[in-house]
Each structure stands twice: as C-alpha cells, then as structure tokens.
Structure 1
Amino acid sequence: MPKVKSEKKTRVHGTVAKQGILFNKDFGQHILKNPMVIKSMVEKAAIRPTDTVLEIGPGTGNMTVALLDCAKKVIACEIDKRLVAELQKRVQGTHLKPKLEILVGDVLKTDLPFFNLCVANIPYQISSPLVFKLLLHRPFYRCAILMFQKEFAQRIVAQKNDKLYSRLSVNTQLLARVDIILNVGRNNFRPPPKVDSAVVRLEPRNPPPPISYTEWDGLTRIAFTRKNKTLASLFRQTCILSTLEKNYRIHCSMRNQEIPENLNFKDKIEKILTDVNADKLRARSMDVDDFMSLLLAFNKENIYFA
C-alpha cells in the first residue's frame, strides 16, 4: 500500500486547542502566554480606574482580562472572528463583560474611537502603518505600550549615526517620545515567532510640532533615499528638482506671487541648503531639529514637498 502523507499539524494554544482553533499566520497570530510579561505591560501602562484602553489583536484574551481588571472599559479590535467568539465566551457571565467592547475588523481600516491608552501585542506585518495611524490619531491619548519585533523597536528608537537610524526613526521621534521598556524572548509566545520582541512606550507629543506632517514626510523621503549621500547631491537629481519646481510654481501661482523670468531653480535650492549649512549634511547624521530647520527654510522660499 502507498504511504499516506500525514497532515502537518499547526501548533495551537492550550485554551483553544479543544475547539480546534488554529493560529492564522496571515494575521501574524502569536499569543503571548507568559503571565509575567502581560503583568509587566499592564503595570507599565499605569492604567487608572477611569481609563478607556484600546487593545489591538486581543487573541484569546490573556491581556484583555488583565486590562479589564484595571480599566473602566476595554475596546478590543480583532480581525479574526473565531477569536472574537473565544473572547466573548471568556467574559460571558462575569463582571468583566459590561466593560468590554469588541471591534471586529482590520484595525488599519477601522475608525478608532476615543481611548486614553493603547496596549497591544502588534502583528509584525502591520507595525509601521499602525504606529503612524496611532501617532496621527486625534484626540490625543496619554501613551501606547506596544509589543513589536525587536529589530523594528530598535529602529524606531535609533538615534542619528546609528546603523539602524532611518526615516522610520526620525518620523516617529518627530511625533512621540519613544523608549524600549522591556525585551521579550520568542519562547514567551505560542506558537513562537522566528525573532525576539520588545515592548515600546510611545508618548505622543502634545501639542504636536507646528508643521505639516505631509510636508515633513516628503522631505525625509527624499533625504533617506540615500542616507549616506550629502543633501546637496540628492537635491541635484533631475526628478527631484523637477517635482519641487512644479510645486514651487503652483504655490506661487496660488498666492499671486511673481516668478522671476530668469529663475534658475537648481541654484535656488543650492542657496537654501548653503544658507542653513545643510549642503554637506547627510540624513544619517541629522536629528529632528536639523530636519525641522531645513523644512522651514524651504517653506519660507515657497518650496513644498506635497
């Protein structure tokens, strides 16, 4: 008889194994199983009895229950309807049920309600867009305690001249104070991911910097295309000059400002960079203040990035 190929088993969490619920790798489901890590994250959040807490990806509810014990209300956003059912069963018939609200769907496509704090074990594949969705969320909240892949966490806290310093670093640090507060090994999860994790504390800057984030993002996008190149060489590129000149002419037209007939746009850009001593700077060695000064200098001369 031919051998029957055995089906490869997927590792499942103890609390849901009997129901046959398998973790979905497409959703980045890695359930945090260590109660000490959960306790530490909840403590770091400094939850008040009057707080509404947003949790993203509650899974089987290990963190959710701990949050419900401390907060006035927990809003849990979960994309997997199977886990939503498990979470509802977990609080059914308990004093915690009235305090729990569940949002079913993709958090990136969901309009988030008001919350004071966010505590979450983030699916790795949505880390970057979710960080900026949270940082641009209004009204402001006190802080977010978020679990990320360790390298991602190191990138958002990296300082200038660090090899991990990137556009992600400077864009995050523009909008928030950010620190790694806890390192978490892969064996604290089931199933264990292939990499270690870290918990990050994000505190949105309130009030935010007095600039357009879209403009800021446009500038840093150019600067970090080649973070080891000087700004002078980056801004000599034909495609960049062409786009910026087009924006310049549009803004001047909208403000009824005359454009010199003999305009040499390349010279105009080089003069701005030289005037703020930025021509020889490289993105890898520039901090938030450096980029802020440069953006204001460009905008002052009607040069915009969006």
Structure 2
Amino acid sequence: MSFRTKKSLGQHFLHDGNIIRKIADAIPAKTGDRVIEIGPGTGALTRELLNRFEDIQVIEIDQRAVEVLNEEFPDLIIHQQDVLKTNWDDLISKTGDTYVVGNLPYYITSPILFSVLEKRDFFKEALFMMQKEVAERLVAEHSSKEYGILSVQTQLMSEPEILFDVSRHSFSPPPRVTSAVIRLRFNKPELPFKDETMKKVVRTAFNQRRKKLSNALKPLLGKELPEGFNYDDRAEHWSPETYAKLSERLEQTDSIS
C-alpha cells in the first residue's frame, strides 16, 4: 500500500541500507534476548532485525503503519500504542536481556529518553537515533555549552556513547538536520538516592543556569547549604558526580525543602 508520512508524528523513515545494517550490527543481542523497536514505521529496520534476531517486538502508534507491518511481517508482535504510555513490565523478556532500539521522532525525543531511563533496570542497552545536537548533549562534559539537564541525568543513569552520524539524505522525507545513533549502556550501579531527588536538584540548578548555585538552588535548599560544595560555581560547572553527591547528602539529612 502507498504510504504518506505524517508531519504530526514527526515521521522520517530511514531507507539507507548501509545505516540500517550498522544499527543492527551494534545490537549485541544473543539467543534468548528480546529486541524491542520503537516506531518501526513501515519496517525498514524491522526487516533487518528479524533476519538477525529471534525475538523481535515493536511499538507503533500509527494505524496505517501497523497495517503495512501486519502485511509484510504476519508473525511480528506489534503493540499499537503510544510509547510514552507503554507498560514496560509487559514487554521485557522474562528469560534473557532486553534491548530497545528506535529512530526517535525529534519532537518527543526527550520524553521517550526519560521514560526509558526511568525504567533502565528493565534494559541491557538502548540504541537510539536522534537529532545530532541532542545526542551531543547526552555525552557533553561539564563546563561545555552543550552540558545541561539531559547530560547529567543520562550520565548518572547510563553510559552514553555516540556511535556514528546519519545524513539527512538517509531518510524519506529528509529532515532538516543531521542525526546520530547513540548507545546507552545500563551498567551503572544503583543510585544511592531516588531518581526524583536528583531530578529536583538538577532541574533547580539549571533553571537559572546564569546564576551562582548559591542563588539558583535557594528554592530547593533555602539558606542552609550543605558543606563541601562550591556554590560560587554555576550549574554547568558541576560534574554529574557532584550532583549525585549533593542528592545523596540531601536524602541522608532529609533537607530538601
């Protein structure tokens, strides 16, 4: 069937066979593992995954794409739903590791990323294609202009690595920007504080990133600033590890206001 992409869903379908193979090559799934693809569209990457791995499931919200996938891959397990409302407990492998892969729509990249990071205990790795500018934020070092909330949270919850760039001409229709494929390894030890504590600290700090942290963190900490931190710094100067230390200290002393 003919298929017209929907701008409202941010659809840019990958058609470059070389890039498709490189993405599949980067997934180290083995027998007994499951690969879940987010937003397969009409199945260009799906076909390659099915040729390589025995347990593939996909999440697709567009009914038209689901019809194409059902026709092309009658045995494929398709979850027609919004990925942001997905109950990951129902999808992960009960016998092996679970990998998640997807060409993320630019307009909801961050919400999908945060959703997967929140459920990181379910996954071995994630392999996402996204706008290159966003991928660079995920791996940015502190004190750089790209460093921000995404950088801190992603680096505390995973080990991010940009694998390769993807030209806009590898898609139909071509987006206006270059993309990149990034791998997130979920190999970090469990954080000694709640995710929500760290999120409050980081978001409060970067909410006024031009101010010194002594002022930026006041809405959260009040006037009592825990010792051992340089509050004359600005938000981008603290490493993820420093934010982690402050988050742990605040939970230990129950001093978040």
Common fold by TM > 0.5: yes
Cα offset, 1:108, TM superposition: 0.4
Code of the residue aligned with 1:281 in structure 2: it is D
Residue in 2 aligned with 1:114?
Answer: 92
Q: Could you tell me which of 72, 87, 91 is aligned with 2:73? A: 91
| 1:214 equivalenced with 2:196 (yes/no) | yes
Per-residue displacement from partner, 1:238-263 (whole Å, max 9, x unpaired)? xx16xx5xxxxxxxxxxxxxxxxxxx
Cα offset, 1:138, TM superposition: 5.7
CA contact (8 A) 1:149 1:195 kept: yes
TM-score, normalised to structure 1's length? 0.78
Per-residue displacement from partner, 1:248-279 (whole Å, max 9, x unpaired)? xxxxxxxxxxxxxxxxx62xx14x2xx21322
Write the distance in 2 (CA, Å) between the matches of 1:82 and 1:225. 40
SS of corresponding position for 1:102: strand
Q: Could you tell me which of 18, 22, 42 is aligned with 1:40? A: 22
Code of the residue aligned with 2:2 in structure 1: it is G
Residue in 2 aligned with 1:57?
Answer: 39
CA contact (8 A) 2:197 2:251 kept: no
Percent sequence identity is 34
Residue in 2 aligned with 1:203?
Answer: 185
Residue in 1 aligned with 2:253?
Answer: 301
CA contact (8 A) 2:159 2:188 kept: no
The higher radius of gyration belongs to: 1
Indicate the larger mover: 105-114 or 203-212. 203-212
Residue in 1 aligned with 2:213?
Answer: 231
SS of corresponding position for 2:20: helix
Write the distance in 2 (CA, Å) between the matches of 1:169 and 1:66. 31
Cα offset, 1:139, TM superposition: 4.4
Post-superposition, which runs of at least 4 consecutive aligned residues in structure 1 deviate over 6 A? none
TM-score, normalised to structure 2's length? 0.92
Write the distance in 2 (CA, Å) between the matches of 1:194 and 1:121. 15
SS of corresponding position for 1:290: helix
Residue in 2 aligned with 1:252?
Answer: none
Write the distance in 2 (CA, Å) between the matches of 1:53 and 1:118. 6
Residue in 2 aligned with 1:6?
Answer: none
Per-residue displacement from partner, 1:205-242 (whole Å, max 9, x unpaired)? 34321210001000111110122321112244xxx16x
Write the distance in 1 (CA, Å) between the matches of 2:121 and 2:77. 19
Cα offset, 1:297, TM superposition: 2.8
Code of the residue aligned with 1:288 in structure 2: it is P
Code of the residue aligned with 1:111 in structure 2: it is N
| 1:103 equivalenced with 2:90 (yes/no) | no
Root mean square deviation of aligned Cα: 1.6
Per-residue displacement from partner, 1:99-151 (whole Å, max 9, x unpaired)? x2100011101212104111111111111111111112164321111100111
Write the distance in 2 (CA, Å) between the matches of 1:119 and 1:298. 35
SS of corresponding position for 1:45: coil
Per-residue displacement from partner, 1:49-92 (whole Å, max 9, x unpaired)? 32211000111111111111121211110010111110111124
SS of corresponding position for 2:26: helix
| 1:285 equivalenced with 2:237 (yes/no) | yes
Residue in 2 aligned with 1:155?
Answer: 137
Cα offset, 1:283, TM superposition: 1.2
CA contact (8 A) 2:192 2:248 kept: no
Indicate the larger mover: 203-212 or 148-157. 203-212
Code of the residue aligned with 1:297 in structure 2: it is R
Residue in 1 aligned with 2:161?
Answer: 179
Q: Report how many residues are paired.
A: 251
SS of corresponding position for 2:183: strand
Code of the residue aligned with 2:62 in structure 1: it is D
